[in-house]
Structure 1
């Protein structure tokens, strides 16, 4: 074990997309633009939710948590990724890789639980509108958000140490752009049965169960919307859920493509692009999805600028 730790402490080589050098400069520009959009968009949502009293509601409380999560998530690895994309040096220290892995598990798990909590919030808003204020009260919001973050911390604490104790191959080449569990398991030259079982169990608890709960919530929401007689009422009810549903679809489709892919070279190569979209694309798209067609956010922004509200948005 001492020899394994000594070799591991030398660090790793993040191969990323080095097999496609002509693609790396393009990806550098794309990732830089996406990261800038992530910083601006999510900071905008957090500030607006804090500064405008009319946005002090459960929906925007959870959305602020999601925005803060996305800011931390991308900042934990994008600067290192940009360095690797720009130059020939693809190395990362053992400590840097450990921090990336810990944060990736922490925030990825937290987002899965948080999206489930937001689905529950939308379920109560549509299916129990008269009791919404009494069910989704501020204390419950804080408790549900705390549960999401604590579950993320527990998952990271449980899964990070066994992954870092794997007997890594001497070449230390991680076939990915970030240190995450599947890539580090593939790097091992020893028995990874325990780690693979652990990852499978975690995938069921963190991915399958929350996604099932989300689908159940939206099944109930769909039935409730169909019972609304007026077309305007149905559009309004669907409008309160459409942004979250789109975010869930983008997030889970990319995560499933990364963590539940078959073991073959083609699937692993394709998984890197899905992983890139999951890690860089979704955090930059989330603010756009939640703000472009959101009249409340537009009104809040106009109020922040000291302008009168547009009567067409009433």
Structure 2
């Protein structure tokens, strides 16, 4: 058998295309002493990966040309020469986009399907849920009866943010881009108000949705949507900056309003964050998220596409707004 992998073929200018990726085959490397052979089961595709395709410094190193891309993966141990892992163990970690990986196991975590479905460990119980948890609770700090606005509200992070804010007694306004997403946020997650940015006048809708202004803005998208939300922030507002998906495919940075006078006059806090900043608290956060999920207080959605050959399409779908919730690719059973 051969090991199929997905390489970064070129650095995209603007929106990536299928030419950005290249499939290659190689022999499967047998594990030596201290190593394990993993078989990929699920691959997570995420918006932040677009910025890693650029050859510029960021909070994580850029992908290298002519090498496999990598990200969150769930895999099964097929062979083990490492006492810490047994054949059949299910693990998650940051791994390359390929069907099989031989590794020393560093950075991998074993997961237990009896606690939650495997895919939850790439979503609500993985870095996605942790991003929502720490960004909202440690930066946003929502209080009862405050107004929390979430952009990208039907994405994997946004929907968890909104539900946690509701648990804290806040009034939640979501911004999303399709009728399906709007209906889901209203009917399934009980958001108080939802705005369709593709059809509604965003600023006018925000003024209607937030008559008392905005106390917390969880920013997943950036761009003009964020400009509109920020124009309505209250004094002492908190603004976690999680993502800027509206900007990832732009070849030149947009000219934006200077925010310092606004932040000054409103005594507001705007803070970017990386979930790894809060690694010391991961265990406790996963326990609390897990309890909320088991109790039905936090729901989650997954958009799972089958087939390793469809990983590039799943990634490209992130930028056309195809996914409701977490975007995953099922490689194998």
Instruction: State whether TM-score is above 0.5.
Output: no
TM-score w.r.t. structure 1 length?
0.25
TM-score w.r.t. structure 2 length?
0.24
